[in-house]
């Protein structure tokens, strides 16, 4: 049986009819470290992976309503961005080259105080979703105001999102105080809890913006709802010094005493950790969201990735916001994370390519409590898939596909993206987003934010 010359074709002379069959030169399942399957097909039915098998066997066993043939591509699990503030895509480049607290106090928080609204969050999240999809990201973990609008934006696009029930003691356009934040976050979860593309986190902003009594309530809610706690932690030395002055202990120690540290904790940044703190995270089964580009750009430091991994801590990758990173590009984060770990330890063998890829797939899924559903190409999981085209002269020759994914390819090489079997990016073209409309929204907000700045 000869395949049709087009990317998508039909074949109806086999036995079991399924929705989709993606045939690729290489498939990297991720659930088995270092494994690359050549000339394999991913079979999809009802949004989930039904089978993973050689192409010729798949053609004999299944008849797909749609075939997508990718003869020069590698197919991998959809990438997971485990920490971002999606709507802040509208603040990309607004205030660059500044330390964290000056950046927040003098630029970001004043801009948010004046402009954050339901419409800004929806428009900004749509813009971020477009950027992330183009970079192969299928799931993002968000922490921002008006999370219900981020949820609506993600659902309209067909993207998977973990929505943070944000909490901070500072009044904003979204909520007046900590109790109001929690009330609105819980109501948001109740409204969206039946959406299969959405999951939820408690999202206290940081130890320096949330009080002890609020943390205690958050821990209670997290335990009752069985959701993670998504928290900025040990991002800067100033944060640690302030905690020592105010509480007489480092932030992680304070979080431990309040019951925050446990298997549901996603410690974002975790740049400045001592050996006993790494051991505490391991012993408690906590996760770390490593954001190397944001940490570098804000001068926060270099997280001890190699030591965390050696200790057995689950680490995932995040971009942080486009305001502090300027790119929502997890492929870049994987490369940066691997190179930083090698350079900072003097060990070129630390964080090899297969481990870097794990950080932005199964590691992210595990941090969000979604490893049963996404993060690897495993039958039974959702068909969240990313295809990368290796057929470019700047990517030739290609000896090891996983090495290429981490060290050579860029987001411009991502060709196709599926979430739960739905084709969101088809040969670099959006299927659920209008680029002209997005450009108009970005221009509108640029004008408003530039005037304030």
| Assigned CATH class of 79-367 | alpha beta
Element (H, E) at 73: strand 62-77
Q: Note the residue count of the chain.
A: 453
73-91 tens-digit pLDDT: 999 999 999 999 999 999 9
Q: Is the pLDDT of residue 271 over 80?
A: yes
Q: What is the DSSP string of 344-408?
A: HHT-TTSS-HHHHHHHTTHHHHHHTT-TTTSSS--TTSB--EEEEE--SGGG-S-S-HHHHHHHT
Report pLDDT digits (tens) over 133-145: 999 999 999 999 9
Q: What is the pLDDT of residue 8?
A: 45
Rounded CA gap, 436 and 400, in Å? Answer: 38
Place of tokens 């969000």: 368
d(CA 353, CA 367): 20
Domain ranges of the chain: 8-77+385-419, 79-367
Q: Which fold has domain 8-77+385-419?
A: Urease, subunit C; domain 1 (2.30.40)
Q: How confident is the model at residue 9 (pLDDT cuts 50, 70, 90)?
A: very low
The answer to whether 417 touches 78, Cβ cutoff 8 Å, is yes
Q: How confident is the model at residue 113 (pLDDT cuts 50, 70, 90)?
A: confident
């Amino acid at each position: 049986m000869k395949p049709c010359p087009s990317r998508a074709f039909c074949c109806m002379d086999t036995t079991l009819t399924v929705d989709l069959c993606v045939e690729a030169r290489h498939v990297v399942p991720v659930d088995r470290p270092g494994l690359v399957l050549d000339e394999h097909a991913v079979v999809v039915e009802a949004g989930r992976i039904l089978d993973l098998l050689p192409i010729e066997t798949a053609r004999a066993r299944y008849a797909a309503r749609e075939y997508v043939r990718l003869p020069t591509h590698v197919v991998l699990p959809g990438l997971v961005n485990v920490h971002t503030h999606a709507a802040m895509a509208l603040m990309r480049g607004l205030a660059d080259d500044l330390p964290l607290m000056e950046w927040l106090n003098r630029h970001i928080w004043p801009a948010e105080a004046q402009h954050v609204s339901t419409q800004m969050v929806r428009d900004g999240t749509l813009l971020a979703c477009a950027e992330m999809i183009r970079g192969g990201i299928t799931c993002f973990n968000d922490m921002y105001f008006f999370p219900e609008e981020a949820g609506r934006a993600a659902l309209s696009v067909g993207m998977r999102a973990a929505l943070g029930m944000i909490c901070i003691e500072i009044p904003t356009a979204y909520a007046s105080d900590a109790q109001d934040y929690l009330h609105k976050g819980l109501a948001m979860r109740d409204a969206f809890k039946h959406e299969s593309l959405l999951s939820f986190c408690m999202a206290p902003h940081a130890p320096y913006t949330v009080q002890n009594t609020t943390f205690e309530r958050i821990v209670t809610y997290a335990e009752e709802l069985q959701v993670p706690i998504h928290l900025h932690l040990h991002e800067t030395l100033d944060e640690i010094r302030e905690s020592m002055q105010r509480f007489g202990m480092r932030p992680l120690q304070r979080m431990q005493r309040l019951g925050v540290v446990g298997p549901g904790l996603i410690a974002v940044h975790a740049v400045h950790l001592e050996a006993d703190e790494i051991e505490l995270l391991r012993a408690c089964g906590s996760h770390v969201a490593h954001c190397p580009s944001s940490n570098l750009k804000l001068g926060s430091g270099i997280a001890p990735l190699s030591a965390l991994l050696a200790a057995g801590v689950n680490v995932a990758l995040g971009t942080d916001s486009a305001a502090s990173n300027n790119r929502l590009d997890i492929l870049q984060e994987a490369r940066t994370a691997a190179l930083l770990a090698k350079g900072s330890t003097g060990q070129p063998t630390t964080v090899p390519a297969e481990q870097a890829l794990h950080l932005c797939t199964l590691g992210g899924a595990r941090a969000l409590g979604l490893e049963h559903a996404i993060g690897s190409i495993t039958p039974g999981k959702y068909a969240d898939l990313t295809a990368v085209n290796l057929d470019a002269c700047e990517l030739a020759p290609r000896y090891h596909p996983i090495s290429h994914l981490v060290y050579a390819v860029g987001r411009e090489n991502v060709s196709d993206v599926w979430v739960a079997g739905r084709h969101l990016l088809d040969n670099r073209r959006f299927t659920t987003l209008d680029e002209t409309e997005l450009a108009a929204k970005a221009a509108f907000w640029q004008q408003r934010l530039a005037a304030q700045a």
